[in-house]
Amino acid sequence: MDPHFIKRGDLLPSVVGTCEDANGPVSLEDAEEPTFKMRLPDSDEVVVSGEAEILQIGDGVEDGSKGRIRYVWSEGDTDVAGRYEAEFTVLIQSKPQTFPNRGFTPIHIGDDVSEVGS
């Protein structure tokens, strides 16, 4: 999955990716319980964890058969600038599968211009 860039405190853009394996995009049409997790590199502590959503027809031009998935940021998720690694997990036929299945999705939360003396 491509790197995701966002500024500290922002909640848009959401993290959108394509779940793929060696054969290309994985159909998520019958997948369940999509989740998103994010941590600092070389850490076991998950700093963001939440429910993700599979993009289906009706959410623009997306289609669950094309493996598209999204995490919508919640308040507090992007409060700390830094470089993170993330992954999506879904249940396919009641079995967990994590994407990307090799490495992680890089998340870059950039610093913002803070007001001095406020």
Instruction: Give the separation between CA 28 and CA 68, rounded to whole angstroms.
Output: 8
Domain boundaries along the sequence of the chain: 4-110
Per DSSP, the residues of 50-101 read EE-EE--TTSSS--GGGTEEEE---TTTT-S-EEEEEEEEEEETTEEEEESS
Q: Which residue has the higher pLDDT, 63 or 43?
A: 43
Give the pLDDT band (50/70/90) at residue 107.
very high
This prediction has a pTM of 0.87
| CATH level 3 topology of 4-110 | Immunoglobulin-like (2.60.40)
Contact 20, 88 (CB under 8 A): no
Instruction: Give the separation between CA 50 and CA 55, rounded to whole angstroms.
Output: 16
Q: Is the pLDDT of residue 13 over 70?
A: yes
What local confidence, expressed as pLDDT, does residue 30 receive?
86
